[in-house]
Structure 1
Amino acid sequence: MRVFPASIPLDGRTVIVSGAGFMAEAKARLFVGSPARLKWFTGADTEPVASDIARFAEVIRREPTRRDFRGASLVFIAGGEDHVIARQAREARAKGALVNIVDSPKGSDFQTPALVDRDAMVISIASGGATPVLSVDIRSQIERLVPARVGILADLARELRGTVKSVLDKFDDRRAFWERALRGKARDLALSGDKAGARREMLRELNTDAPPPSGIVHLVGAGPGDPDLLTIKAARLLREADVIVHDRLVGDGVLDLARRDAIRIDVGKTKGHHPVPQDEIADILVREARKGQRVVRLKGGDPFIFGRGGEELETVRAAGIEAEVTPGISAALACAASSGIPLTHRDHAQSVTFASGVVKKDGPDVNYQALSAPNATAVFYMGVGAAPEIQTKLLAAGRTGATPVAIIENGSSENERTLTGILGDLAGLVERANVKGPAIIIVGETAALAASQPVEAVENFA
């Protein structure tokens, strides 16, 4: 962490803005509606101040003097000649104020973050002044996620905090109460604008004996690895989880979204190395849920596409534990999209089939005959080690050796690469390119539409 976005209470504070123009106006508008006293020194020759700010601020049509900075907590200097800016900054600091010089991070004591303002709830996005445009873009994304009336909940929590503390002595009991209150009916009432109803519901919850915590297991798809491809619901469940049981292929950026105090249990597998057997994974889910924990079983891609989600769901529900499934973007979809390969195409493929290159020991094999249709796309998961078998069986089932193939390794990550070739040379392509990372194999005419060029010329097998 390179910058620390501290929160400064504004009650009883004086904020000064010095300067004219849109930059000064933007700083002044930040404090409209806040409990701070806002003084805006606009200079002598300025246009009329925007009406919403003029109604709230003390507008002074001159430059500030040393005496004006007395008692100020924050001072924003927006424009002017360099020697005037330097003098004002020096005088403000001498009076104990923190100074922000607009568009001069190095000359400032602090930088103004991009803000998502929900009154009592304020979210800041800080880059230390390095990338304000990026901060604003991130703010726009957060604005879509944060309910407009979430500040009502924050107000109620602040107002009732002392009451809750007097009723519930133990920290764990208070935390459990707030989780129920801020995620249940009271939240719904507050977000609908009914603050009085939300308060009544919170007090009712406070004066009702809390039921014993009921555990739940969420099977959550983490997507192919890129945190940006995580669903909004999956991100929320991660933030709320007490225990996270995760696979090896879950990206670090995804786990970073979890609470810092959440228990993380790594049950990842690699080829030929399964340190935590599947039965034990299911036992972990049941055990943790029976403690009343909110358990997230985090799986790469989608839980129900070669993720054994169906097996785990059966086990959890058979144990009498509530379970929910939150889908994720599967590797086939993400990798194909990243490489510009349409899995279906009106001219080339009227169907798509997902298949596994590795099947259960003594279980049924993949139906390669069904995968051999010329106007269809086949997508193989876990197929790198099985590439020679996939090649042989598809050729034997009728696919021609000239059928285009594509291999997408480490899809959606920084080191993603796409290799293209033909089915008759699939095993050789995997070997020559030394494919090691997780990869999917796409077989069919649409594989030739990959945005990437082949890594090498290959002999045309007919």
Structure 2
Amino acid sequence: MDYLPLFFDLKAKPCLIVGGGTIATRKARLLHKAGAKLHVVAPKVSEELEKLVAASNGKVFKQEYDKTFLNDVILVISATDIDSVNSVVAADCHAIKLPVNVVDSPALCSVIMPAIIDRSPLIIGVTSGGEAPVLARRVRSMLESSIPAAYGQLAQLASKFRQRAKDVFENGDLRRRFWENILNGPIAEKVLGGNLAAAEQLIEAQLDSASVEKTGEVYLVGAGPGDPDLLTFKALRLMQQAEVVLYDRLVSEPILEMTRRDAERIYVGKKRAEHAVPQQKINQMLLELAQQGKRVLRLKGGDPFIFGRGGEEIDLLAEHKIPFQVVPGITAASGCASYSGIPLTHRDYSQSVRFITGHLQEGKENFRWSEFVDKQQTLVFYMGLAGLETICSKLIEYGKSPSTPAALIERGTLPEQRVHVSDLAGLAAKIEGLEVHAPTLLIIGDVVRCHEKLNWYK
């Protein structure tokens, strides 16, 4: 994070703008909207800017800048088109540790001005740190179109009842649950529909009854193969609701950061021959946390129902009648294949696909290998790195051609993705000596021939 986003309370506080042209006027509009007392220094000052200064009870100084103008102000914006003046203003402010923004010169700034979405009292700031202002404005436009104007009224309503809710629900968890029900339910819909009076009556009724639903629930959510953009909308919504998060090692850090910031995080990751928490213990934790009335997120890499043991985890919940939801994720086979330009099925090469666990039970080859040799079938082995040599040799032993194309995909869908392509006879030797890191996915079949031509993720 290059900058820490903060919000200034500028009401009736003196701020200095150096410059009197179009850009200075634009910045003045924002400061005036925030209630600042504007002072402007510039040889020439636009008519609109003079009116803004007068309306804020500030002063206009039609002269050159000098550092005496920094006395008694709390924020400075330098908006001239003269680089030497902007540099002097910045240096003077830095010398006395006064916050300064120099328009279009991020290197001179100690604070930056974001693109703003105003739903007062709800304010959203978007910035690229001055590196890509057009992109920041684009993001602002996207947010503007997706956040209803009435969210400001919803925020005002929440503010009106905030203290009373705090008095009624002294327990922080209950109070948070109360507000989540308000902001995600029919009361919010009343506000967005313009019926504020009805919304207030409904809140009054809930506060009078001093009741809030405190039912535990478990969200079994597939986080996909790693790229955060592959999450579903439903996954994101539930990730923001959960109070406790149980996550495994295949959940990437950017995805984990999308969970609620104040949620408790519990790592229950597993890797070959090393389980941080045994599976039965995970199942029991989900049950006990839900029985305590908590909203629990079980966040799993890929899809929870494809080699994710998700069925085992919700079986105990169902037995104890604990409410749960299952959100599918893009499984590694689909995600890694797509990001490698390898279609799992193709009219010219393969009419079926088979998903197989690459974990060989206690080192034993416990598969029906003879079922895997059909040339028109794509084989996908999950977690097959440790058993790669055995998998390839066994397939050849049971009749699959040694020249069958094969690809080992390392850290698929992530920026660090690497695709190692060879054939059954040579793949193990090709990666020997290389630092190949899990998670990996092994794809075997003629569809791998498409990799060179269709690979778009480079």
TM range (shorter): 0.7 to 0.9
Question: Which residue number in structure 1 is paired with residue 333 of structure 2?
Answer: 332
Residues 414 and 388 (structure 1 numbering): CA distance in 2 closer, same or farther, change over 3 Å?
same
Tell me what 1:416 maps to.
417
- Write the distance in 2 (CA, Å) between the matches of 1:395 and 1:164: 69
Measure the CA separation in 1 of the matches of 2:325 and 2:299.
12
Which residue is equivalent to 1:456?
A: none
Tell me which moved more, 248-257 or 134-143.
134-143
Residues 393-419 of structure 1 show CA distances to partners (whole Å, capped at 9, x for unaligned) of: 433554322211110012233432110
**Could you tell me which residue of structure 1 aligns to residue 263 of structure 2?**
262
114-123 vs 303-312, greater mean Cα deviation = 114-123
TM-score of the pair, normalised by structure 1: 0.81
- Structure 2 alignment gaps of length 5 or more: none
Counterpart CA distance in 2 for 1:422 and 1:89 is 62
Query: Larger deviation: 415-424 or 141-150?
Result: 141-150
CA contact (8 A) 2:168 2:210 kept: no
Q: How do residues 150-299 of structure 1 correspond to structure 2 at under 5 angstroms? A: 150-211=151-212, 213-299=214-300
The SS at the match of 2:425 is helix
TM-score by length of 2: 0.81
The CA RMSD over aligned residues, in Å, is 4.2
- Return the alpha-carbon distance in structure 2 between the equivalents of residues 143 and 403 of structure 1: 52
* Residue of structure 2 equivalent to 1:403: 404
Which has the higher mean CA deviation after the structures are superposed, 347-356 or 366-375?
366-375
Q: Contact 1:384/1:430 (CA < 8 Å) preserved in 2?
A: no
- Distance apart, 1:330 and its partner CA: 1.9
Deviation at 1:321, TM superposition (A): 0.4
Shift of residue 442, structure 1, vs aligned partner: 0.8
Mean CA deviation greater in 391-400 or 233-242: 391-400
- Rate the CA distance shift 1:19–1:428 in 2: closer, same or farther, 3 A: same
- Structure 1: stretches of 5+ with no match in the other structure: 454-462
Structure 1 residues 88 and 389 mapped into 2: Cα distance closer, same or farther (>3 Å)?
closer
Aligned 8 A contact 1:32 1:57 in 2: no
Q: CA deviation at 1:361?
A: 7.9
**Residue 98 of structure 1, CA deviation:** 4.5
Query: Does residue 349 of the first structure (1) align with residue 350 of the second (2)?
Result: yes
1:7 is the counterpart of 2:7 = yes
C-alpha contact 2:117 2:125 (8 A) present in aligned 1: yes
Post-superposition Cα deviations, 1:66-103, rounded to whole Å, max 9, x if no partner, equal 89989865443322334554677799999998532212
Deviation at 1:297, TM superposition (A): 0.5
- What are the superposed Cα offsets for residues 127-176 of structure 1, whole Å, 9 maximum, x if unpaired? 55455456446556655765554333222122222333344445444333
Conserved in 2, the CA contact under 8 Å of 1:289 and 1:321?
Answer: yes
Q: In structure 2, the residue corresponding to 1:411 is in which secondary structure?
A: coil
Cα shift at 1:308: 0.9
Distance 1:99 1:272, change over 3 A: closer
Equivalent position SS for 1:450: helix
> What corresponds to 1:77 in structure 2?
78
CA deviations on 1:242-277 (whole Å, 9 max, x unpaired) are 111111111122222333432222221111222422
Q: 1: distance between equivalents of 2:213 and 2:100?
A: 51
Count of aligned positions: 452
CA change 1:64–1:413 in 2 (3 A) is: same
CA distance in 1, matches of 2:97, 2:277: 59
Q: Percent identity?
A: 38
2:235–2:327: 8 Å Cα contact kept in structure 1?
yes
C-alpha change, 1:289 and 1:347, in structure 2 (3 Å) is same
Q: Point out the more displaced range, 274-283 or 1-10.
A: 1-10
